[in-house]
């Protein structure tokens, strides 16, 4: 018999994927449709990594990662790659906020997301994910 906490692990991961996915759709959607000015503002954060070229491209990519990463998390499709893109996006945001001298409460939000997405990369998809359904068919 499985340990009770293990028995409900997939339910917890499902709730986590759906909850975080919804938040990231709402977080990324305004950026995605914010246009060139918004993309340049968001992409300017790459300057803290010494990447000052094409800020609109990087901002657009962050918006795509947040919006579609959220959708993929909800579906449990491409769970690890989606979490990977969101990890990178939030890592850059964390470094940006630290470099900007922002208050800890601002830094902590993106920092917590870095930990969460790294955890999802390690754990991978749960049994309710489309990834799991696809992988079972391949076996």
Domain boundaries, the chain: 8-138
Residue 113's contacts (CB-CB under 8 Å, 6 or more residues apart) are 86, 90, 93
Nearest 5°: the CA angle 42, 45, 47 is 135
Q: What is the spatial distance between Cα 74 and Cα 23, in angstroms, rounded to a whole number? A: 10
Closest by alpha carbon to 73, among 113, 32, 30, 33?
A: 113
Q: Judge contact between 93 and 61, C-beta under 8 A.
A: no
At residue 1, the pLDDT reads 56
* Chain mean pLDDT for the chain: 94
The stretch 30-45 carries a mean pLDDT of: 95
Residue 75 phi/psi, 5-degree rounding, is -75, -20
Q: Judge contact between 124 and 80, C-beta under 8 A.
A: yes
Instruction: Write out pLDDT tens, residues 77-121.
Output: 999 999 999 999 999 999 999 999 999 999 999 999 999 999 999
The stretch 113-137 carries a mean pLDDT of: 94
pLDDT at residue 58 is higher than 80 = yes
């Amino acid at each position: 018999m499985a340990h009770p906490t293990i028995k409900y692990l997939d339910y917890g991961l499902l709730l986590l994927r759906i909850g975080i996915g919804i938040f990231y759709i709402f977080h990324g959607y305004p950026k995605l449709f914010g246009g060139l000015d918004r993309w340049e503002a968001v992409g300017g954060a790459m300057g803290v990594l010494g990447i000052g070229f094409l800020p609109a491209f990087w901002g657009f990519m962050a918006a795509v990662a947040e919006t579609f990463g959220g959708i993929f998390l909800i579906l449990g499709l491409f769970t690890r790659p989606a979490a990977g893109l969101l990890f990178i996006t939030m890592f850059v945001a964390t470094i940006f906020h630290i470099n900007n001298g922002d208050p800890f409460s601002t830094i902590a939000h993106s920092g917590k997301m870095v930990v969460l997405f790294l955890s999802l990369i390690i754990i991978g998809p749960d049994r309710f994910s489309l990834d799991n359904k696809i992988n079972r068919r391949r076996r």
